[in-house]
Amino acid sequence: IVFIYDPRFCTTEADDPQNSILYFHPPWVSSSQKLALSGQLMGIVKFSSSVFSTPSVLALRSGKFAIRHFGSSTLCVGTDRNIPDSILQNRADTLYNILVTYHYNITEISDHKILCEQLNTVISSYLSLLLVSSNMFSTTAVLKFPKSGGNILLEAMQILESMQEKNKVLGGMLLHQNKIVVTQFGFELTKLIQLTNPFNNKIPAENVKGSFHLPLGTQLLYIFMDREQVLQIRKTATSLKQSVKKASKWRQKNKMADKLQDCPKK
């Protein structure tokens, strides 16, 4: 079960409580069941937040739910009681991170109908993507190089370094068949991009609009990052640049040593 609740759309007694339920999955659940479940959970969350602290997981007789706040809305991800809390929280974090990375400003939409339509399109797309992804909670897939493939890795690092010489380029990552070759992003952002795989999957992220012409197969998508992520990318990029310089010097030394060995002795 996944649903999003927003109290902005139910502030007076005359308002329909159903308006606060912006999205609910599965869709075949009756309106009365949706309202009973969401009302019960949001009541507990509001009470706990005001008296104690905001709960991360709530356990009911029918199941357990992970709670995440998303703008003015609350994201709830539910499962059976026999599923460990760690798995439930991992699922909630994954969906939450996708939403705040690609659609952080979606809850700023004030029109109820448009907001519901947008959330339905967005979350439904990612739910189907997550369901077919068997390794959605595993470690990131990294491309393994043989010992003789060190030059390829160095060239990949040099490509990222050269891209950063261009104005306003913060960082990047290179993948081959959705396996990481080299990345300057943090673990969470790297894993999220690899999971959503926008290169092969048509995700509903907002495209950058411009009068320029993009090469075939190229996409420009908006993503949202916080200050810590930006600083981390800059730090990683600086570290990568230093590593490339050290590797280049090491290669030059080895080449010179090889030339000296090949020179005939007099």
- Enter the tokens of residue 176: 């081959």
pLDDT tens for 42-77 read 888 888 888 888 888 988 887 899 999 988 899 999
Q: What is the mean pLDDT of residues 118-122?
A: 93
Confidence of residue 82 (pLDDT cuts 50, 70, 90): confident
Per the structure block, which two tokens stand in for 260?
Answer: 């000296």
Can you give the length of the chain in residues? Answer: 266
- pLDDT, tens only, 142-159: 767 666 666 777 788 888
Average pLDDT of 8-20?
Answer: 85
% of residues, the chain, pLDDT over 90: 19
What is the predicted pLDDT for the residue at 259?
A: 53
pLDDT bucket at 253, cuts 50 / 70 / 90: low
Report the distance separating Cα 228 and Cα 246, nearest Å.
27
What mean pLDDT is predicted for residues 231-236? 85
Residue percentage of the chain with pLDDT more than 70: 83
Gap between the Cα atoms of 162 and 181, Å rounded: 16
More confident residue, 21 or 51: 21
Q: How far does Cα 226 stand from its chain's mean position? A: 13
Q: Secondary structure of the chain: what % helix, strand, coil (to 5)?
A: 50, 15, 35
Q: What is the mean pLDDT of residues 187-203?
A: 87
Q: Which domains does the chain have, with CATH numbers?
A: 2-132 (3.30.450), 147-262 (no CATH)
pLDDT of residue 20: 92
pLDDT beyond 70 at 21: yes
pLDDT reading at 266 higher than 60:
no
What is the C-alpha to C-alpha distance for residues 79 and 239, in angstroms, rounded to an integer? Answer: 42
